[in-house]
Structures are given as C-alpha cells and as structure tokens.
Chains A and B, each alone.
Chain A
C-alpha cells in the first residue's frame, strides 16, 4: 500500500507542498496573514504570546513553532519575526531539516509594510520553486498519523473512533507512526491502555503523564465536569469523562504503545505513541502537527469543523444526523457501522483507502473551506 508524496531534504515526506508563513510572536501575525493572503500556495501559521513567556513555556513555544515549520507538508518557510534574536531562536530549530528558509524581521526592515513586501517576494519565489517538485510513490512507513476526536458523542466510541483504530493498526503494520493525544481524555481508561505498553517503563511514563495531570487538576480544586465532557458532548449522550475516554481510546487501534511524548515532540521510532496535550482540539492538533504528523484522522460525533493549518485533517463521523446535517464539514461517513451493521474492519478499510487518497492530494473540507487554526499550549503565566 502506497501513497504519493513530496520528498523533503531530511527524508520526510509531505502530503502537501505549501510554503509556510510562520510568525515568531503575536505582534507579527498581521504581516504573516497579509503575506499568506497575497501568495497562493502558502499557509499562515500564526501564534499568540511568545513575547513575555519564559522558562518551559517559552521552550515549548519555540519548539512548537519550529516543529510546525519542519513539518514535511511545508516545502519551505518564510519566518516573520519582530527582532533578530528571538527569530534566531526559532530559525536555528528549523534549519536542520534542510528546507528553504527566509527570515524577515519587522524592526530591521522598517515596519509592517516593508516587511510584508519583502516576505511576499520570498514567499512568491519559494512557491514557484516548490511547484516544480513532483509527487513520488511512498510507503506507509513514511506516514505519521495523528488520531484526534472533537465534538464527540456516543457514536464516536461506537463507530468513528474504532474505524480510525483500524486505520491506525494498518499504519503501524506498514511501519508508520501513529500518535494519540489529549491527556485528560484518558481519565478512566488509562488502566486499560497502559496494559498495551511495550515495556514497564513506557507504561509507567504513560500513567505518570495521565495521573500526574489528574493530580494537578485535583490540587487546583477544579471539577473537570465543568469542561469535559463539554456541553455538546453531553447533548450527544456522553455522561462522564470516563465514558468519553473509553470511547476515545479506540482511535489508537490495538497495537502496543511504544512511546510517550511531550507536547509537540516528534516520535522517533515506528509504532503507536501517546503525546501529552490538552484536550481542546486546536491545541492538540497544533501539538500533533509540530510533532511531524502529516495527516490527522479526526473523529466527530455532534460535529467539530476544525482542522490543523499544517497537518491535513480528515473529519470522520458515525452519527447519521451529523453526516446529514453537518455535511459541509464531514469528509468521511462511517454511520453504516451503526445503521446497518457494517463490520468495523470494513469501515476502517474504506477509511484507509480514503486517507491514502487524501495523502496523495485529494482535498479535505477543512482545507477547501480554510477551517484551520493554530494554538500553542501554554502552561505558565507571562511576565
């Protein structure tokens, strides 16, 4: 089983050939958006904060921005910074991937108009250069697939998550990587999932991550019920975080858990990984894309339209009402699993075929409607 992708200098393979216009910090976003609007074939990667962040948060921000830039779906990067020292922090993390990189610093070139002009020229040249590249046949081992859910309901656990799980197993069997995320969405399911760890150490890392996060929630005196399950999850029939978690876990298929990753970190070995991320989809998608996922299979029940700016996102639903009434934002229908007893194996195989078409260039709803966003998680205050 193969797909058609764009080979990058570091050996990774892109499913898309965008030039990324990437902000170093919040005050650069207007230039980033203006450049992306001016040049076809670009995507804007904006960010809030960075300026005033410190410690672990600042490292996460730099690493995540650079991870998004290194994602093989981007053929090249125009980095929009305010001043050169901070820009260099991000640029030095991008350079090892070997892709074309240009840096424009707004303070040094004389303000937003001049920065927009210079960055537009860089982006225009880079897009034309990138357009000369052709897709080539690539094996499943070149795929890193994120599995995500949002706007979940009880059909997510019955149909869309386990269908995605079948695809996840195929990817792992083919030597690829799969990443499941959303730490709090393991509360109540972690004891089942931890049994799949490839070693005692990986199992302990996973449990430490999930239970450590729960301890943090408890220590702050918070009741997770105010946030998760969300109001729409509840309308869709999900009663508790435990119920949601046991359904969400099915996205990861049945293969052993081989690694535990911090937010935005790339998996190094083939197989199934867990990435510690907050549950809200945009933050989670951003972490997955920064970790090198080119493709995200996103299960939705009551309907969540969002996709990643960088990682191509496929919306999968098993809720017949959502498939009918939210169709503008649904890419793939697995409702026959519930409605007519389609075996999960067959629904998953159909989804794999579709996912490889998308990998090879077929566009998704979040791409054509530009329902795409970036949000880097932050864990500390700004100073």
Chain B
C-alpha cells in the first residue's frame, strides 16, 4: 500500500513516500494513522491533504506554517504549488 508520512500531530498534510494513482489507498504513518483514499495521481515525495482544507487555510507540516491554501482541498488530494502559495519574500504584492 502507498505510504504517507505525517510529521507532526497538528499537520494537515502528509508526504507520500511511494507514487500513488488516483483511487489508491494510502496508509498514514509517523504521527498519523488509518488510511485515506488518494484523489489524484501524486508522485513520490509530494503531499496530500489529510483533512479537508478551505481556501485560505494555513498548510501545516513539521507543525509549522509552510504556506496557505489558494483553493479548497479535499482529503486525499494533491497539495502543491497549484493550490498553495508561499507567504514569505513576496515582494510582488
């Protein structure tokens, strides 16, 4: 089964350590447990949501803020630059 590591109990994303196809079941390891259904094709090393995230929600990994959701993200969906933005060193706004 696809494995997804949760690094901190407060995190709302997990890091996949196997490639996953849409529809695959992923086993949460580390600080997470149980399984979730992956909703997109997600490559090795990329992240998926472990709770439903509203647009504007802080993304938490290592128990710290790593960015903010720019769209609603469902449990098991791919979390990456298409739906998360960095908040730091943004001289463009």
With the chains together, A236 CA to B46 CA distance in Å?
A: 7
A271 at the interface (CB under 8 A from B): no
Give the total of B residues in contact with A, Cβ under 8 Å: 29
Report the minimum CB–CB distance from B12 to chain A (whole Å).
Answer: 13
B85 at the interface (CB under 8 A from A): yes
B89's partner among A222, A236, A246, A301 (CB-CB below 8 A) is: A222
Query: Which residues in B have their C-beta under 8 angstroms from that of A217?
Result: 89, 91
A220 at the interface (CB under 8 A from B): yes
Give the total of A residues in contact with B, Cβ under 8 Å: 35
- B33-44 Cβ-contact flags toward A at 8 Å (1 or 0): 000000000011
Pairwise interchain contact B80-A239, C-beta atoms closer than 8 A? yes
- A222-266 Cβ-contact flags toward B at 8 Å (1 or 0): 111100000000101101111100110000000000000000000
> Interface with B: A3-11, A87-95, A167-175, A187-195, which one?
A187-195
A153 at the interface (CB under 8 A from B): yes
Chain B stretch 43-93: residues in CB contact (< 8 A) with chain A: 43-47, 59, 61-62, 64-67, 79-81, 84-93
Q: A223 and B92 in contact (CB under 8 A), knowing A158-B15, A237-B15, A237-B46?
A: yes
A30 at the interface (CB under 8 A from B): no
With the chains together, A241 CA to B61 CA distance in Å?
A: 13
Q: A242 and B44 in contact (CB under 8 A), knowing A188-B64, A189-B64?
A: no
Report the minimum CB–CB distance from A215 to chain B (whole Å).
Answer: 9
Residue of B nearest to A154 (CB): B45
A219 at the interface (CB under 8 A from B): yes
Pairwise interchain contact A218-B46, C-beta atoms closer than 8 A? no
B5 at the interface (CB under 8 A from A): yes
Pairwise interchain contact B64-A237, C-beta atoms closer than 8 A? no
B21 at the interface (CB under 8 A from A): no
B5's partner among A158, A188, A239, A321 (CB-CB below 8 A) is: A158
Query: Which residues in A have their C-beta under 8 angstroms from that of B5?
Result: 158, 338
If A214-B89, A220-B91, A237-B15 are given as contacts, then 5 extra A-B residue pairs at C-beta distance below 8 Å, sorted by A number, are A224-B90, A225-B90, A242-B64, A243-B61, A246-B61
- 20 A-B residue pairings within 8 Å (CB atoms): A157-B62, A158-B15, A158-B17, A217-B91, A218-B90, A220-B91, A221-B92, A223-B90, A224-B86, A224-B88, A224-B89, A225-B85, A236-B45, A237-B80, A239-B80, A239-B86, A242-B67, A243-B61, A246-B62, A338-B5
**Interface set of B (CB-CB < 8 Å, partner A):** 5, 7, 15, 17, 43-47, 59, 61-62, 64-67, 79-81, 84-93
Q: Which 4 A-B pairs have the closest CB atoms?
A: A224-B89, A223-B92, A237-B45, A240-B86
**Interface set of A (CB-CB < 8 Å, partner B):** 153-155, 157-158, 184, 187-189, 192, 214, 217-225, 234, 236-237, 239-243, 246-247, 301, 319, 321, 338-339
